[in-house]
Structure 1
Amino acid sequence: MNKLPKIAFPVIIAAVVLFIILVKSAVTIGSGEAGVLYKTFGGGVVTEEEPLGEGFHVVAPWNKVYIYEVRQQELFEKMKVLSSNGLEIQIDASAWYQPVYGDLGKLHQTLGENYLQRVIQPAIRSAARSVVGRYTPEQLYSSKRDAIQDEIFVETKKILEKQYVQLNEVLVRDVTLPSTIKEAIERKLKQEQESLEYEFRLVTAQKEAEKQRIEAQGKADANRILSASLTDKILQDKGIEATMKLSESSNSKVIVIGSGDSGLPIILGNQ
């Protein structure tokens, strides 16, 4: 068996070392991700440069790359908070968030990879407690859900803007009240609805009665004015005017002038 030349051993060793270096130096960053470079002998976390983007990168083997997801992510939270009168309310909410891409190095340096538990969850819980504590259970149940959603978003966003995290939306999916409070609110709302319906029917009936009264008064006034205007002289003139029109008709007739009551003509004849 032929022995390998002595020069072959150093070449093999060098090749193995080079392979190991390449393996440790190669970094592939996937879609929707970015990398934070940590320089072991160069000042630690790189914060003043853009993070490493998607694709293949070669770094010094003694350095490290921490990979973060930079796409929008969703956090689901079930929180028990107190209303303005001290009753316990359960809020089911979700938050859409993502790290600020240009500040990824600062995020890694100050909060680390578990920034979700360190800052986002405490921020949204604190905002929810603050906002819900301003409202009664009845307001939360009926008309203020959109309002508390917007207010929780605004307060959480203020906190996270200082923590290199971008909050895109907060959605309040459900507000759960104690069953006894919920039933009492539903009874009250039902009573209010019935009261409004009764008031509507009452107002409608009053308007209809007023309309009929006005119409009757109008007819009475018209009859009174007409009766007052029909004097004997006017009636006589109207009778003469009607007689003159009848006399012009082609139908045969006999007109006796001055033979009727009040001197009106009497018309005799047939067609």
Structure 2
Amino acid sequence: MVQLVIAFIILIAAAVLAGRVSRVKPRSLGHGQASESDRQQAAKSIRGLSSAIALGGVGIAVAIAATSCVYSLDVGEVAVIRNLGGSVSGSQSEAGFHAKAPWQSAIKYDTRNNLINFYGDTDYETTGGSEVGKQVSINDKSGASANIDIQVNYSLRPNAAVSLYRDYGSQENFVSKYISNDLRSVTREIAGKYDTITMLTDRGSFTRGVQKALSEKWKGMGLTVEQVSVQDVRYPKEITSAYAAAQSAEVQKRKASNEQETAKVEAETKRIKAQGEADANDILNSSLSENVLRQKYIDALSNAKNLTVVPDGSVPMVQTK
């Protein structure tokens, strides 16, 4: 539309200039001393110059107007075609050059992976479907406050561009008024379902919760959540210090518990070993009957060498020199 206005202005300017040139009188060029043939030649030159200005203006105006009838799309872009009165006549998502009426506008949306990145004290800046901004402040289920750095990659389905334009206008307006606010509100909502310990130790559960909530909420808008990444969860120092102390105490507790379990196992091993020895002795004692002992005695005598046997009850006499 801008090109069409420029072309119209150039056309008007060329017509005015050509008219003024055509009204120039040949006698003013000769100061009364030029011949009739010179005046005729001058008049002819003036007419030629006037025609050249008019034709040049028309050519430039047509060229500029022609550019307003053509627009191009890159891969990953969709254009919403807007009429002069503000109505929408359709959309186009095929890459390449396309034609439209001079009074129509092609409003482009980026359908490729867009990034919303909130971190630190960053100033807000929106470019197409992407935005950077300040960290998200939350209160968890335990009532503790924290600041979260979070990134979301999302893409836009081309067939949703027309409805988004009708509701929000440009893509930058849609991002700043809808996407940005949604991400912040969902992050705070999901954080309120997790206690401090979970937020500090199980960031993956919180991340999955945010991605699931965003996917369900944005599905009807024609948006697809590609990935959610929680870069950092920052609690006040007193909370992180208390958590570190609790973790240290837990480590010591588990260490003591492991040592107790080890002592119990060792004691049980000794008891089982002693019980086994006692049981073996009982079995051995119960098996040593009088007949068994007598037989062992006889076996020992049979295998002995240089042995003198003395009958029971006798007093042996040993001769010495």
TM over 0.5: yes
Alignment equivalent of 1:211, drawn from 266, 269, 280? 269
Q: Find the counterpart in structure 2 of residue 141 from structure 1.
A: 200
State the 1:92 CA deviation.
0.8
5+ long unaligned stretches in structure 2: 1-40, 119-134, 313-321
The answer (yes or no) to whether the contact 1:84–1:136 under 8 Å persists in 2 is: yes
The answer (yes or no) to whether the contact 2:70–2:100 under 8 Å persists in 1 is: yes
Partner amino acid, structure 2, of 1:194: Q
Q: Find the counterpart in structure 2 of residue 115 from structure 1.
A: 174
State the 1:196 CA deviation.
0.9
Q: Find the counterpart in structure 1 of residue 281 from structure 2.
A: 223
The answer (yes or no) to whether the contact 1:37–1:52 under 8 Å persists in 2 is: no
The one-character-per-residue Cα deviations of 1:201-240 (angstroms, maximum 9, x if unpaired) are: 1011111111101101110110121022112311222344
Q: Find the counterpart in structure 2 of residue 175 from structure 1.
A: 233
The answer (yes or no) to whether the contact 1:35–1:53 under 8 Å persists in 2 is: no
SS in 1 for 2:75: coil
The answer (yes or no) to whether the contact 2:84–2:104 under 8 Å persists in 1 is: yes
TM-score computed with the length of structure 1 as normaliser: 0.81
Q: How many residues align?
A: 250
Task: Name the larger-Rg structure.
Answer: 2
More moved, 30-39 vs 102-111: 30-39
Q: Does 1:46 align with 2:89?
A: yes
Q: Does 1:72 align with 2:113?
A: yes
5+ long unaligned stretches in structure 1: 248-252, 263-271
CA distance in 2, matches of 1:164, 1:261: 114
The answer (yes or no) to whether the contact 1:127–1:152 under 8 Å persists in 2 is: yes
The one-character-per-residue Cα deviations of 1:163-202 (angstroms, maximum 9, x if unpaired) are: 3322222111111111001100110111011101101110
CA distance in 1, matches of 2:293, 2:64: 129
TM-score computed with the length of structure 2 as normaliser: 0.70
Q: Find the counterpart in structure 2 of residue 29 from structure 1.
A: 73
The answer (yes or no) to whether the contact 1:37–1:45 under 8 Å persists in 2 is: yes
Q: Find the counterpart in structure 1 of residue 144 from structure 2.
A: 87
More moved, 6-15 vs 178-187: 6-15
Partner amino acid, structure 2, of 1:229: S
Q: Find the counterpart in structure 1 of residue 155 from structure 2.
A: 98
Partner amino acid, structure 1, of 2:87: G
Partner amino acid, structure 1, of 2:213: E
Q: Find the counterpart in structure 2 of residue 192 from structure 1.
A: 250
The answer (yes or no) to whether the contact 1:51–1:104 under 8 Å persists in 2 is: no
The one-character-per-residue Cα deviations of 1:90-114 (angstroms, maximum 9, x if unpaired) are: 1111011122211111111212222
The answer (yes or no) to whether the contact 1:157–1:166 under 8 Å persists in 2 is: yes
More moved, 127-136 vs 2-11: 2-11
The answer (yes or no) to whether the contact 2:115–2:152 under 8 Å persists in 1 is: yes
State the 1:255 CA deviation.
8.2
Q: Does 1:61 align with 2:105?
A: no
More moved, 13-22 vs 69-78: 13-22
SS in 2 for 1:46: strand
State the 1:134 CA deviation.
1.9
The one-character-per-residue Cα deviations of 1:115-166 (angstroms, maximum 9, x if unpaired) are: 11111111111111111112222221123x1111111112222222233322
Q: Does 1:201 align with 2:244?
A: no
CA distance in 2, matches of 1:10, 1:178: 74
Q: Find the counterpart in structure 1 of residue 129 from structure 2.
A: none
CA distance in 2, matches of 1:255, 1:85: 92
SS in 2 for 1:98: strand
Partner amino acid, structure 1, of 2:180: Q
State the 1:10 CA deviation.
7.0
